[in-house]
A and B are shown apart, each in its own frame.
Chain A
Amino acid sequence: MSDLIITGGTVLTTDGPIRTDLRITDDRVSEIGQGLEASNVIDANEAWVGPGLVDMHSHLRDPGQDWKEDIATGTGAAAVGGYTAVLAMPNTIPVVDNAQIALYVSERGRRVGSADVYPSGCLTMGGDGERMAHIDEMWDAGVRVFTDDGTSVESAAVLRLAMEYIANLGGLVAQHAVDGAMSAHGYMHEGSVSSRLGMHGIPSEAEEIVISRDLALVRLTGVSYHVQHLSSMVGVGLIRQAKADGLPVTAEVTPHHLVFDHTDVASTDADFKMMPPLRSAEDRDALVLGLQDGTIDIVATDHAPHAPREKEVPFEHAPNGVIGLEWAASVTNSVIGDDQVRFFAALSSSPARIAQITDHGHAITIGSTANLVVFDPTERWTPTDSVSRSRNAPYFGRELIGRVRATVRAGQLTHGSTA
Chain B
Amino acid sequence: MNHLLTTEGLSREVLEGLLTDAQEFAEVLERPIPKVPALRGRTVATMFFEPSTRTKMSFDKAAKALSADTVAFSASTSSLSKGESLKDTALTVHAMGIDLMIVRHGATGAPWRLAEWLDIPIVNAGDGAHQHPTQALLDCLTITQRFGSLEGLKIAIVGDIRHSRVARSDMFAMSTLGADVTLVGPPTLLPVHMDGWPARTSTDLDAAIEDADVVYLLRVQTERGGGSVFPSLPEYTKRYGMTNDRFSRLKAKAVVLHPGPMNRGVEISHDVADDERALVLQQVSNGVAARMAVLFALLGGDSDV
Are B193's CB and A314's CB within 8 A?
no
B223 CB to closest chain A CB, in angstroms? 14
Q: Does A246 contact B (CB under 8 A)?
A: no
In the complex, which residues 360-398 of chain A have their Cβ closer than 8 Å to any Cβ of chain B? none
Q: Tell me if B193 and A309 are in contact (CB < 8 A).
A: no
Nearest CB in chain A: distance from B183 CB, A: 11
B-side interface size class? 20 to 34
Roughly how many angstroms separate A198 CA and B107 CA in the complex, as a whole number?
A: 9
Query: Interface-forming stretch among A13-21, A88-96, A186-194, A232-240?
Result: A186-194
Q: Is the CB of A190 within 8 A of B192?
A: yes
CB distance from A274 to the nearest CB of B (A): 16
Set of chain B residues within 8 Å of A201, measured between Cβ atoms: 192
Q: B99-115, CB under 8 A of A: which get 1 and which 0?
A: 00000010111101100
User: Which residue in chain A gives the minimum CB-CB distance to B105?
Assistant: A314
Contact at A197–B196, with CB atoms within 8 Å? no
Contact of A195 among B83, B131, B194 (CB under 8 A): B194
Bound-state CA distance A196–B86 (Å) is 23
B163 interface neighbour in A196, A198, A268, A314, Cβ under 8 Å:
A198
Residues of B within 8 A of A309 (CB): 83-85, 87-88
A198 & B85 in contact (Cβ 8 Å cutoff): no
Q: Tell yes or no: A199 within 8 A of B by CB.
A: yes
Size bracket, chain A contacts: 20 to 34
- A243 interface contact, C-beta 8 A: no
Write the nearest CB–CB distance from B173 to chain A, whole angstroms.
Answer: 15
Given known A196-B168, A198-B168, A201-B192, contact A314–B130 (CB-CB < 8 A): no
Closest chain-A Cβ to B75's Cβ sits at a distance in Å of 12
**Interface assignment of B195: CB less than 8 Å from any CB of chain A:** yes
Please name the residue on chain B nearest to A188 by beta carbon. B108
A198 to chain B, nearest CB (A): 3
CB-contacts of B186-240 with A (<8 A) = 191-197
- Residue interface mask A167-206, B partner, CB < 8 A = 1: 0000000000000000000000011101111110101000
Say yes or no for A353: interface residue by CB 8 A criterion: no
The answer to whether B265 has its CB under 8 Å from any CB of chain A is no
| Chain A residues whose CB sits within 8 angstroms of the CB of B191 once the complex forms | 195
Q: Which residues of B contact A312 (CB under 8 A)?
A: 85-88, 113
Partner of A316, one of B107, B162, B192, B194: B107
Residue A155 lies at the interface, judged by CB distance under 8 Å to chain B? no
A267 at the A/B interface (Cβ < 8 Å)? yes
A198-B108 CB under 8 A given contacts A268-B113, A312-B86, A312-B87: yes
Question: Is B165 on the interface with A (CB-CB < 8 A)?
Answer: yes
User: What is the count of residue pairs linking A and B with beta-carbon distances less than 8 angstroms?
Assistant: 79
Q: Does B128 contact A (CB under 8 A)?
A: yes
- Indicate if B280 sits at the interface (CB-CB under 8 A): no
Q: How far is the CA of A308 from the CA of B128 in the complex (A)?
A: 23
- Given contact pairs A192-B194, A316-B108, A198 touches B86 in the complex (Cβ within 8 A): no
Q: Are A197 and B107 in contact (CB under 8 A)?
A: no
Q: Does A327 contact B (CB under 8 A)?
A: no
User: Nearest residue in A to B194 (C-beta to C-beta)?
Assistant: A195
A residues 304-325 touching B (CB-CB < 8 Å): 308-310, 312-317
**Bound Cα distance A314, B197 (Å):** 24
How many Å lie between the Cα of A244 and that of B217 in the bound state? 53
Checking B88, B110, B128, B197 against A199 with a beta-carbon cut-off of 8 angstroms, the contacting residue is B128
Residue B129, interface by CB 8 Å: yes
| Distance A313 CA – B191 CA, assembled complex (angstroms) | 26
Which residues of B have CB within 8 Å of A195? 162, 191-194, 197
Query: What separation, in Å, do the CA atoms of A198 and B110 have in the docked complex?
Result: 13
Measured between beta carbons, the chain B residues less than 8 angstroms from A203 are 192
Q: Smallest Cβ distance from A262 to chain B, in angstroms?
A: 10
- Distance of A268 Cα from B192 Cα, bound (Å): 20
Once A312-B87, A315-B107 are accepted as A-B contacts, the answer to whether A198 and B193 lie under 8 Å apart by CB is: no
Residues in A whose Cβ lies below 8 Å from that of B112: 267-268
Q: Which residues of B contact A314 (CB under 8 A)?
A: 86, 105, 107-110, 113, 127-128
In the bound complex, residues from chain A placing their C-beta under 8 Å from that of B165 are 198
B108 & A197 in contact (Cβ 8 Å cutoff): yes
CA distance A206 to B112 in the complex (A): 29
How far, in whole Å, are A313 and B108 apart by their CA atoms in the complex? 11
Instruction: List the A side residues contacting B127 at CB < 8 Å.
Output: 314
> Which residues of chain B come closer than 8 Å to A316, judged between CB atoms?
107-108, 128
Given A198-B129, A198-B130, are A192 and B195 also a contact pair (CB < 8 Å)? yes
Q: Which residues of A contact B87 (CB under 8 A)?
A: 309, 312-313
Q: Which of B78-124 contact A (CB under 8 A)?
A: 83-88, 105, 107-110, 112-113
CA distance A195 to B108 in the complex (A): 11
Question: Please, how many angstroms separate the alpha-carbon atoms of A269 and B115 in the complex?
Answer: 12
A94 to B196 Cα, complex, angstroms: 47
B128 A190 Cβ-Cβ under 8 A = no
Contacts of B107 in A (CB 8 A): 313-317
- Which residues of B sit under 8 angstroms from A191, Cβ to Cβ? 192-193
- Considering residues B109, B127, B194, which has the most beta carbons from chain A within 10 angstroms of its beta carbon? B109
In Å, the complex CA distance between A192 and B195 comes to: 6
Residues on B with C-beta less than 8 A from A315 are 107-109
B192-A199 in contact (CB<8A): no
Q: Nearest Cβ in chain A — how far from B78, in angstroms?
A: 14
In the bound assembly, the distance between CA atoms of A84 and B107 in angstroms comes to 40
Q: How far is the CA of A268 from the CA of B105 in the complex (A)?
A: 13
Pick from A194, A268, A308, A310: contact of B193, CB below 8 A.
Answer: A194
Please report the C-alpha to C-alpha distance between residue A203 and residue B193 in the assembled complex, in whole angstroms: 11
- Knowing that A195-B193, A196-B8, A203-B192 touch, tell me 18 more A-B residue pairs with CB under 8 angstroms: A191-B192, A192-B195, A195-B194, A197-B108, A201-B192, A268-B112, A269-B113, A309-B84, A309-B85, A310-B85, A312-B85, A312-B87, A313-B85, A314-B86, A314-B128, A315-B108, A316-B128, A317-B107
Taking Cβ atoms with an 8 Å cutoff, the residues of A that contact B are: 190-192, 194-199, 201, 203, 267-269, 308-310, 312-317
Can you name 11 A-B pairs with beta carbons within 8 Å?
Answer: A197-B108, A198-B168, A199-B108, A199-B130, A201-B192, A309-B83, A309-B88, A312-B85, A314-B86, A314-B108, A316-B108
Q: Which 10 A-B pairs have the closest CB atoms?
A: A268-B109, A198-B129, A314-B107, A312-B87, A198-B130, A312-B85, A192-B195, A195-B191, A309-B85, A314-B110
List residues of B whose CB falls within 8 A of some A CB.
Answer: 8, 83-88, 105, 107-110, 112-113, 127-131, 162-165, 168, 191-197
